Amino acid sequence: MSPEFEEEKWYIRLLDRIRTSRRLKIALLLGPPLVFLIIFFFSPFAIAIMYSLAMFEKVVHQYFLVPRISLEYYIKFLNLPGIVNVILKSFYYAIVTTVGTLVLSYPLAYYLAFKIPERYRNILVFIIFLPFWINFIVRVYALKFIMHGAGPLQSLLVAIGILKEPIKILGTDTAVILTMIYSYLIFMLLPLYGVLEKIDKELLEAAATLGASPVKTFLKVTLPLSMPGIIAGSLIVFIPAVGEFIIPVLVGGAATATLGLLIYRYFIAVGGLVGWGIGSAAGIIYIIIIVILSYLYIKLVGGEIRLA
């Protein structure tokens, strides 16, 4: 018997074993993703927890793991001057951004799902998504150029007499919020459109047949059915918006301080055991707050869905 035939038989036996073994199928399907998550997601998270609990010591240029638990870095972070204002400002930006994207996205998603003929929807969605394919930093700089006092928009408004003089927008909370709403708009629009587009149109027709006005139909039928999209979009926008630090740096100026920017500065500017320890403690606190708020949000809004 030739070696090629023996090799083929071995290969066939292996495939047959995989086909007949449920455990092997699960291991082959879930094994690579789990390994990837453990190495690139759970491991950095575990290391951040260990740094925040002061479980590392540095001797010369080497780090050593020490079996201890200390809340020293958490206490230092919570005792930082003005930390409460930094956290409140971060959540202020995130809440306003979430509400702003929802207010702007819902009418557009509703119009796309119910008013535009199906054959034109994909084209319009492509046109809406097209600007967001441009690099994020490029888009932020473009907005910065537009909002600048000497930029084309304000110069035009001054030239035609709408403004007497340019308005200072850059370096203010307004600039940060406008840029964040623009940058995160697509993340609210996607889940909203996906949910609204799948709503059975016969339900709306049935409500109208039973005498419901368009407003009542929206409040009693469309809005409750679209709530999963609102929840998903709100969480997708709110969670990264709380930790945003690039936009405040680029358009908010040096006076703008957010939780994400504070974590970034401790990791990059301060560095070392102290910087990484306080930065990790801040990151863990940020995650805990987000998990608690997300749970409460889903619990409360989910209760409204069931009541509806």
Q: What residues does 59 pair with on adjacent strands?
A: 62
User: For 41-53, what is the mean pLDDT?
Assistant: 89
> Is the same domain home to 151 and 204?
yes
Same-domain pairing of 155 and 31? no
Percent of the chain with pLDDT over 90: 16
Residue 305 has a pLDDT of 46
Same domain, 179 and 275: yes
pLDDT of residue 92: 92
The whole-model pTM stands at 0.81
Q: Where residue 238 sits, what CATH number does that domain have?
A: 1.10.3720.10
91 lies in the same domain as 17 = no
Phi-psi region of 135 (alpha: psi -120 to 50; beta: other; left: phi over 0): beta
Is the per-residue pLDDT at 185 higher than 90? yes
pLDDT at position 106 is 94
53 located within any domain = no
Q: Is residue 67 part of a domain?
A: no
Residue 188 domain-assigned?
yes
CA dihedral over 96, 101, 103, 104, signed as positive or negative = positive
Domain count, the chain: 2
**How confident is residue 8, by pLDDT bands cut at 50, 70 and 90?**
low
Let me know: does 124 contact 116? Beta carbons within 8 Å: yes
Tokens of 21: 């073994």
Distance (Å, whole) CA 64 – CA 56: 5
Please report which residue ranges of the chain form alpha helices under DSSP H: 3-20, 22-37, 43-52, 72-78, 83-114, 118-129, 136-147, 152-159, 173-197, 201-209, 214-217, 223-242, 246-247, 259-265, 272-307
The confidence band for 171, taking pLDDT boundaries of 50, 70 and 90, is confident
pLDDT at 308: 43
pLDDT over 70 at 83, yes or no:
yes
Q: Which of 66-70, 85-89, 136-140, 297-301 has the lowest mean pLDDT?
A: 297-301
Q: Are 184 and 241 in contact (CB under 8 A)?
A: yes
Query: Does any domain span residue 55?
Result: no
| Domain assignment present for 69 | no
Q: Pick 253 or 86 by higher pLDDT.
A: 86
160 and 91 within one domain: yes
187 and 132 co-located in one domain: yes
* Domain annotation covers residue 139: yes
66 within domain boundaries? no
The residue-averaged pLDDT of 184-195 equals 92
Measure the CA–CA gap between 180 and 92, rounded to whole angstroms. 12
> 7-11, 13-17, 182-186: lowest mean pLDDT where?
7-11
Note whether 11 and 119 are same-domain residues. no
171 and 288: one domain?
yes
Taking residues 166-182, report their average pLDDT. Answer: 88
Asked if the model's pLDDT at residue 10 lies above 70, the reply is no
Statement to judge: residues 111 and 8 lie in one domain: no
Do 279 and 168 fall within a single domain?
yes
pLDDT at 19 over 80: no
- Check pLDDT > 90 for residue 101: yes
pLDDT of residue 199: 87
Would you give the end-to-end CA distance of the chain in angstroms? 72
pLDDT digits (tens, 9 = 90+) for 139-169: 888 888 888 878 788 888 888 888 788 888 8
Average pLDDT, the chain: 84
- The dihedral over CA atoms of 113, 103, 261, 292, expressed in degrees to the nearest 10, equals -80
Domain shared by 238 and 134, yes or no: yes
Mean pLDDT value across residues 75-86: 88
What range does the domain containing 212 cover? Answer: 82-307
Shared domain for 22 and 148, answered yes or no, is: no
Q: How confident is the model at residue 11 (pLDDT cuts 50, 70, 90)?
A: low
**Contact indicator for 293, 280 with CB cutoff of 8 Å:** no
Closest by alpha carbon to 298, among 228, 239, 249? Answer: 228
How does pLDDT run across 225-267, given as a tens digit for each residue? 898 899 889 989 998 898 888 888 888 876 678 888 888 888 8
Length of the chain: 308
User: Per the domain annotation, does 77 fall within a domain?
Assistant: no
pLDDT at 3 over 60: no
Average pLDDT over residues 39-65: 84
Query: What proportion of the chain, given as a percentage, has pLDDT over 70?
Result: 92
